[in-house]
């Protein structure tokens, strides 16, 4: 059953753009978003450069072939690092688990105060990547992809929304907030371009349509 956010937000984009001012025992002030993807012009160029091909099969796929979450620093793994990066006033325990904070999900604009209500979404899902070329990668490459904090691959979002997305591409699923379409398309394209993954025809058409909202 879908849970309702404990706090609503009027402008998710404004919350995401703000810099955080955290207390001494919280995470340091950082932008509440993943690294920014290229602008719309460059995104269109990168989209045009993607190989257009039908998706491959799921033969041999396993999430275990994309090792995550890995240790990033001390006792903090990828998920915990993303939660601290994307939240406000995030406090953690001795094992780096977030025990309090405030997070705004860019996909639906909902705001949460419990980390258990959040997923760290792979912008390009692991199974989608598998069908788009990652089946031929080494495990080390898939590990890098699944834990990539240096691109716009990982997003802190409402768990139910992430589960609705599953492994679907933009031709099959889009975030509830239409105001996020531009950023979503730019991020998706950037990840596929960085990792030389293919896109099918419907996916490419959907991405072009989303870029038109920029």
**Domain span at residue 30?**
12-211
Q: Is residue 36 part of a domain?
A: yes
pLDDT for res 30: 34
Mean pLDDT by 10 residues, the chain (214 residues): 38 36 34 84 98 98 98 96 96 96 97 97 98 98 98 98 98 98 98 98 98 96
What is the rounded CA–CA span in Å between residue 207 and residue 5?
29
Domain count, the chain: 1
pTM assigned to the model? 0.85
Q: Is residue 2 part of a domain?
A: no
pLDDT for res 8: 37
| Contact criterion met (CB below 8 Å) for 103 and 118 | yes
| Contact criterion met (CB below 8 Å) for 35 and 152 | yes
Q: Is residue 4 part of a domain?
A: no
Q: Is residue 3 part of a domain?
A: no
Distance of CA 185 to the CA centre of its chain: 11
120 Cβ contact list (under 8 Å, min separation 6): 69, 78, 79, 82, 83, 154, 155, 156, 157
Torsion of CA 17, 9, 213, 148, to 10 degrees: 50
pLDDT for res 28: 36
pLDDT for res 124: 98
């Amino acid at each position: 059953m879908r849970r309702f956010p404990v706090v609503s937000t009027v402008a998710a984009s404004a919350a995401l753009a703000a810099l955080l001012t955290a207390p001494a025992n919280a995470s340091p002030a950082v932008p509440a978003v993943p690294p920014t993807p290229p602008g719309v012009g460059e995104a269109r160029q990168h989209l045009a450069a993607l190989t257009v091909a039908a998706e491959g099969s799921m033969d041999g796929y396993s999430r275990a072939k994309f090792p995550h979450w890995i240790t990033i620093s001390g006792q903090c793994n990828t998920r915990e690092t993303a939660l601290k990066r994307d939240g406000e006033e995030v406090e953690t325990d001795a094992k780096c688990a977030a025990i309090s904070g405030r997070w705004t999900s860019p996909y639906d604009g909902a705001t949460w105060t419990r980390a258990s209500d959040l997923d760290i979404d792979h912008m390009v899902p692991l199974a989608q990547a598998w069908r788009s070329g990652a089946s031929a990668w080494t495990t080390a490459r898939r590990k890098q992809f699944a834990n990539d904090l240096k691109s716009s691959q990982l997003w802190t979002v409402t768990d139910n929304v992430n589960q609705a997305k599953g492994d679907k591409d933009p031709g099959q699923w889009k975030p509830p907030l239409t105001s996020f379409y531009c950023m979503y398309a730019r991020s998706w394209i950037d990840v596929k371009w960085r990792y030389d993954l293919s896109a099918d025809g419907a996916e490419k058409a959907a991405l072009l349509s989303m870029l038109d909202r920029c």
